[in-house]
């Protein structure tokens, strides 16, 4: 707790960083934050917090904040400060001009998981009702879109199954492609408490994270696979469970589709899915695959937690379904202590997806082609909706380069730094005729913008975030918006300037509209959140107090569905020219592209991205500790300093992506998940060589 002076007033609000969604008391003196105190009654954090959340107000008051709307005709022109009215009217007239010239579908919008539910809902409503198309997407496209797809197919709902507290009843914890110690620290502490009580731990990760071995933790199994082979590992584990009759026959008979189980059983028992066959692909010894499978199936309550190391692959959706298969086969779903739990990286990834900021889905994951659902929204919104799905983010870039997508409204997302293959992204942005960026800072994307609309931080607005456990918590305005408008008011102004009236006096009215149109939110209101502290959706007539554990007694889709998970190698192959695989991750003190944490005291603990190289690979290349190294992939090249460590295995290098200078995404490629286009950030073939850095 950092004490800056005597507090005069305080409000309970929610951290705007990771998917844990810690509750804080913001103590204020006038309009200045005095300190941020973790809320002991917070349902997700129980009075704990991490180093990011405690310093979060630093970026809200940083000198780099942009507080004036600005416009320019060309991106080579200097910015011109204008009034809110002039900026919004200019953006609206440019969007209408582009539509008149290139057609209705030539513009679209991108929202961020850092937006509140209400803001995200408004942006997708603006695109659908005022732009007249479905070209709306969210940054969940590049992180957890395979979770949405995979869990919907198998279990029937695009969300994690448990509350965080459920981990305290787990006997075996399996972490796949996630490092909660860095990315979800408060939940990692809870997990460690359970491990100290005797729960067993399996970690599936190419890198020895803090969850594999640290002063408080030692994994029983660390399956150190080659990046890109998750599906081989999960299918081999399923093979062991089925061939050794470790499955839960009663659960499967009562809860799952019989034919899908029979087909899946036949599939996983094929010899080419055996541990020996999959060991050759994944690099994980067959005996370790067997041991981990036996422990998970027979060790009591088995709970699976996974992160972007699962989703950001060309088989991301396949792996999510493989995880759901394993949970169903072992009966580890539908009660406390078990379940399938995506660890959402950002504060409101779950909410951004729930709110319909996808080109194919309206709020509540209902397909835009469903006439009944569409009619309900058309009546409520007083508009006609296009039944055809719109463009996903990567399709927007491709269409821009084709000359058919020319205008973009981008709220709270730095797509230049966060999307893969930066050269492709910047070429697409440069080809567009009007880009409107709404953000706290003049970020990398704003370099290509024609209109800049100042954003508001989490301390300057009311709204809600939904964390990784489907928990809806209030974000409360503790100071007036520094630029004069909260983000939701900017979207409302833009809609009105486009001739589509939006009339809200407060975000609670937006939530009331969301609740009226979304069955899983039917019982949600600000009043109820204030009374209960937070609510886990579904919250409706059947579950007025919310739903901590999903799929009790029956899956949302009725019977659970097994889906075969055939392994395919990534298109990204190692060659003599590119002999190493680069994979990426996060560090505790920084958050995503660092736009926020780099402007707080967090920067003192981690002020640059580094490349981790195994000692063997370093010696082969003459790389010494702290040397500058050039990294080249098929997409591009960048330079980082090296850390030599056996945390990574030979043949694998690793970096974080928190600094624009590191250019991590200059070298990632256009490969993506077959079902959702989620980029394959985790597998890039590279060469690494020492360089001299000026
Ligand atoms: Fe909690 Fe995550 Fe914020 Fe840390 S960054 S305080 S774990 S919500």
Do residue 180 and residue 273 come from a single domain?
yes
The CATH number of whichever domain residue 135 belongs to comes to 3.40.50.740
185-194, 257-266, 597-606: least confident range: 597-606
Do residue 679 and residue 609 come from a single domain?
yes
Tally Cβ neighbours within 10 Å of residue 383.
14
Pairing state between β 9-14 and 23-29: antiparallel
As a dihedral over the C-alpha atoms of residue 283, residue 289, residue 290, residue 296, rounded to 10 degrees, the angle is: 180
The CATH number of whichever domain residue 36 belongs to comes to 2.20.25.90
Residue 2: pLDDT band (50, 70, 90) is: very low
Q: Whose CA is nearest to atom 3 of ligand 1?
A: 53
Over residues 100-120, the mean pLDDT reads: 95
Is there a domain that residue 564 lies in? Answer: no
Do residue 246 and residue 312 come from a single domain?
yes
The CATH number of whichever domain residue 602 belongs to comes to 2.40.40.20
Residue 183: pLDDT band (50, 70, 90) is: confident
Q: Which secondary-structure segment (H or E) carries 36?
A: strand 32-38
Q: Which pLDDT belongs to residue 636?
A: 87
Is there a domain that residue 555 lies in? Answer: no
Q: Which secondary-structure segment (H or E) carries 194?
A: helix 185-196
CB 336 within 8 A of CB 167: no
Among 35, 60, 85, residue at a domain's last position: 60
Q: Which pLDDT belongs to residue 591?
A: 60
Is there a domain that residue 543 lies in? Answer: no
Q: Whose CA is nearest to atom 1 of ligand 1?
A: 22
Is there a domain that residue 298 lies in? Answer: yes
Do residue 264 and residue 318 come from a single domain?
yes
pLDDT tens digits along 18-70: 889 999 999 988 888 888 899 999 999 999 998 777 776 777 788 889 999 99
46 C-alpha vs ligand 1 centroid, how far in Å?
A: 12
User: Which H, E and C letters describe 67-109, residue by residue?
Assistant: CCCEECCCCCCCCEECCHHHHHHHHHHHHHHHHHHHCHHHEEE
Q: Which pLDDT belongs to residue 427?
A: 96
Do residue 124 and residue 246 come from a single domain?
no
**Mean pLDDT of all residues in the chain?**
92
Residue 345, pLDDT > 90, answer: no
**Of the ranges 111-120, 233-242, 639-648, which is most confident?**
233-242
Query: From the alpha carbon of 18, which atom of ligand 1 is closest?
Result: 2
* Of 491, 600, 671, 566, nearest in space to 119 by CA: 491
Q: Which pLDDT belongs to residue 1?
A: 41
Do residue 360 and residue 301 come from a single domain?
no
Do residue 154 and residue 242 come from a single domain?
yes
Q: Which of the listed residues 15, 114, 348 should we mutate to test ligand 1's pocket, taking the one with most ligand atoms within 8 A of CB? A: 15
Q: Whose CA is nearest to atom 2 of ligand 1?
A: 18
Do residue 433 and residue 477 come from a single domain?
yes
457 C-alpha vs ligand 1 centroid, how far in Å?
A: 16
Looking at the DSSP bridge assignments, the partners of residue 463 are 475
Q: Which of the listed residues 18, 51, 468 should we mutate to test ligand 1's pocket, taking the one with most ligand atoms within 8 A of CB? A: 18
**Which domain covers residue 23, as residue numbers?**
9-60
49 C-alpha vs ligand 1 centroid, how far in Å?
A: 6
CB 352 within 8 A of CB 139: yes
Neighbour-count burial for 534-562, b at 16+ CB within 10 Å, e otherwise: bbbbbbbeebeebbbbbbeeebbbebbbb
Residue 5, pLDDT > 70, answer: no
CB 639 within 8 A of CB 611: no
CB 356 within 8 A of CB 362: yes
Residue 3, pLDDT > 60, answer: no
* Of 122, 94, 89, 90, nearest in space to 106 by CA: 94
Over residues 166-188, the mean pLDDT reads: 94
Q: Which pLDDT belongs to residue 182?
A: 84
Q: Which pLDDT belongs to residue 43?
A: 95
Is there a domain that residue 541 lies in? Answer: no
Structural tokens at position 431? 């080809």
Do residue 227 and residue 129 come from a single domain?
no
Is there a domain that residue 150 lies in? Answer: yes
Total domains, the chain: 4
Do residue 355 and residue 401 come from a single domain?
yes
44 C-alpha vs ligand 1 centroid, how far in Å?
A: 10
Query: From the alpha carbon of 591, which atom of ligand 1 is closest?
Result: 5
Among 312, 342, 372, residue at a domain's last position: 342
Query: From the alpha carbon of 51, which atom of ligand 1 is closest?
Result: 4
The set of protein residues with a Cβ atom below 6 angstroms from ligand 1 is 15, 17-18, 20-22, 45, 49-50, 52-53, 184-186
**ipTM (interface predicted TM):** 0.99
46-60, 121-135, 196-210, 587-601: least confident range: 587-601
| Phi, psi dihedral angles at 464 (to 5 degrees) | -140, 150
Q: Which of the listed residues 44, 186, 192 should we mutate to test ligand 1's pocket, taking the one with most ligand atoms within 8 A of CB? A: 186
52 C-alpha vs ligand 1 centroid, how far in Å?
A: 6
The CATH number of whichever domain residue 218 belongs to comes to 3.40.228.10
418 C-alpha vs ligand 1 centroid, how far in Å?
A: 20
357 C-alpha vs ligand 1 centroid, how far in Å?
A: 24
* Of 354, 341, 369, nearest in space to 155 by CA: 341
Among 473, 490, 519, residue at a domain's last position: 519
Q: Which of the listed residues 52, 180, 189, 458 should we mutate to test ligand 1's pocket, taking the one with most ligand atoms within 8 A of CB? A: 52
Is there a domain that residue 531 lies in? Answer: no
Query: From the alpha carbon of 50, which atom of ligand 1 is closest?
Result: 4
Neighbour-count burial for 568-598, b at 16+ CB within 10 Å, e otherwise: eebebeeeeebebbbbbbbbbbbbbbbbbbb
Q: Which secondary-structure segment (H or E) carries 632?
A: strand 628-633
Q: Which of the listed residues 37, 53, 192, 596 should we mutate to test ligand 1's pocket, taking the one with most ligand atoms within 8 A of CB? A: 53
The helix/strand/coil state of 247 is coil
**Nearest-angstrom CA–CA distance, 574 and 686:** 8
36 C-alpha vs ligand 1 centroid, how far in Å?
A: 12
156 C-alpha vs ligand 1 centroid, how far in Å?
A: 29
Do residue 365 and residue 498 come from a single domain?
yes
Do residue 269 and residue 195 come from a single domain?
yes
Query: From the alpha carbon of 56, which atom of ligand 1 is closest?
Result: 3
439 C-alpha vs ligand 1 centroid, how far in Å?
A: 21
Residue 265: pLDDT band (50, 70, 90) is: very high
Q: How far is CA 467 from the centre of its chain?
A: 11
| Phi, psi dihedral angles at 681 (to 5 degrees) | -65, -25
Over residues 607-635, the mean pLDDT reads: 92
23 C-alpha vs ligand 1 centroid, how far in Å?
A: 9
pLDDT tens digits along 353-366: 999 999 999 999 99
**Nearest-angstrom CA–CA distance, 109 and 391:** 10
Is there a domain that residue 537 lies in? Answer: no
| Cβ-based neighbours of 94, under 8 Å, separated by 6 or more | 407, 433, 434, 450, 451
Residue 595, pLDDT > 90, answer: no
């Amino acid at each position: 707790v950092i004490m800056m002076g005597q507090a005069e007033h305080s409000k309970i609000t929610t951290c705007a960083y990771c998917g844990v969604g810690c509750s804080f008391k913001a103590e204020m003196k006038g309009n200045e934050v005095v300190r941020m105190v973790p809320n002991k009654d917070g349902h997700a954090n129980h009075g704990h917090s991490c180093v990011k959340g405690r310093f979060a107000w630093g970026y809200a008051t940083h000198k780099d904040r942009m507080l004036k709307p600005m416009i320019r005709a060309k991106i080579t022109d200097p910015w011109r400060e204008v009034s809110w009215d002039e900026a919004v009217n200019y953006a609206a007239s440019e969007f209408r001009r582009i539509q008149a010239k290139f057609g209705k579908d030539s513009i679209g919008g991108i929202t961020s998981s850092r937006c509140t539910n209400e803001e995200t809902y408004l942006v997708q409503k603006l695109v659908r009702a005022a732009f007249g198309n479905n070209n709306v997407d969210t940054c969940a496209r590049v992180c957890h879109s395979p979770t949405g797809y995979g869990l919907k197919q198998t279990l029937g709902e695009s969300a994690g199954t448990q509350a965080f507290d459920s981990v305290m009843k787990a006997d075996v914890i399996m972490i796949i492609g996630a490092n909660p110690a860095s990315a979800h620290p408060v939940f990692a502490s809870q997990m460690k408490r359970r491990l100290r009580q005797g729960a067993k731990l399996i970690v599936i990760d190419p890198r020895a994270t803090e969850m594999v071995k640290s002063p408080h933790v030692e994994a029983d199994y660390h399956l150190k696979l080659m990046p890109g082979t998750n599906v081989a590992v999960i299918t081999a584990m399923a093979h062991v469970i089925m061939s050794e009759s470790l499955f839960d026959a009663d659960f499967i008979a009562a809860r799952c589709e019989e034919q899908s189980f029979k087909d899946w059983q036949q599939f996983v028992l094929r010899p080419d899915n055996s541990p020996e066959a999959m060991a050759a692909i994944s690099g994980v010894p067959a005996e370790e695959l067997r041991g981990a499978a036996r422990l998970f199936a027979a060790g009591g309550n088995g709970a699976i937690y996974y992160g972007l190391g699962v989703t950001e692959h060309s088989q991301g959706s396949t792996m999510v379904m493989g995880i759901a298969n394993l949970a169903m086969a072992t009966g580890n779903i539908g009660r406390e202590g078990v379940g399938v739990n995506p660890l959402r990286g950002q504060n409101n990834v779950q909410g951004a997806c729930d709110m319909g900021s996808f080109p194919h889905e309206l709020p509540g994951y209902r397909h835009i082609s469903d006439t009944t659902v569409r009619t309900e929204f058309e009546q409520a919104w007083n508009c006609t909706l296009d039944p055809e799905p719109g463009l996903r983010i990567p399709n927007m870039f491709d269409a821009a380069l084709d000359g058919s997508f020319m205008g973009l409204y981008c709220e709270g997302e730095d797509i230049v730094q966060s999307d893969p293959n930066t050269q492709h992204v910047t070429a697409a942005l440069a080809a567009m005729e009007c880009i409107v960026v709404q953000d706290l800072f003049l970020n990398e994307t704003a370099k290509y913008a024609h209109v800049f609309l100042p954003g508001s931080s989490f301390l300057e607005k009311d709204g809600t975030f939904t964390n990784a456990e489907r928990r809806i918590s209030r974000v409360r305005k503790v100071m007036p918006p520094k630029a004069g408008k909260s983000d939701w008011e900017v979207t409302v102004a833009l809609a009105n300037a486009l001739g589509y009236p939006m009339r809200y006096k407060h975000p609670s009215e937006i939530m009331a509209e969301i609740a009226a149109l979304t069955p899983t939110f039917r019982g949600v209101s600000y009043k109820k959140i204030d009374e209960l502290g937070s609510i886990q959706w579904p919250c409706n007539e059947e579950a007025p107090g919310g739903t901590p554990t999903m799929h009790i007694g029956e899956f949302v889709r009725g019977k659970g569905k097994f889906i075969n998970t055939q392994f395919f190698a990534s298109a990204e192959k190692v060659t003599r020219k590119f002999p190493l695989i680069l994979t990426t991750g996060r560090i505790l003190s920084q958050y995503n592209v660092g736009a926020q944490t780099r402007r707080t005291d967090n920067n003192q603990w981690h002020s640059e991205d580094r490349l981790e190289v195994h000692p063997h690979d370093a010696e082969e290349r003459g790389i010494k500790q702290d040397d500058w190294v050039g990294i080249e992939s098929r997409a591009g090249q960048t330079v980082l300093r090296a850390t030599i460590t056996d945390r990574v295995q030979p043949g694998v290098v690793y970096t974080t992506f928190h600094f624009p200078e590191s250019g991590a995404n200059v070298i990632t490629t256009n490969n993506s998940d077959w079902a959702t286009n989620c980029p394959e950030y985790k597998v890039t073939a590279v060469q690494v060589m020492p360089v001299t850095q000026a």
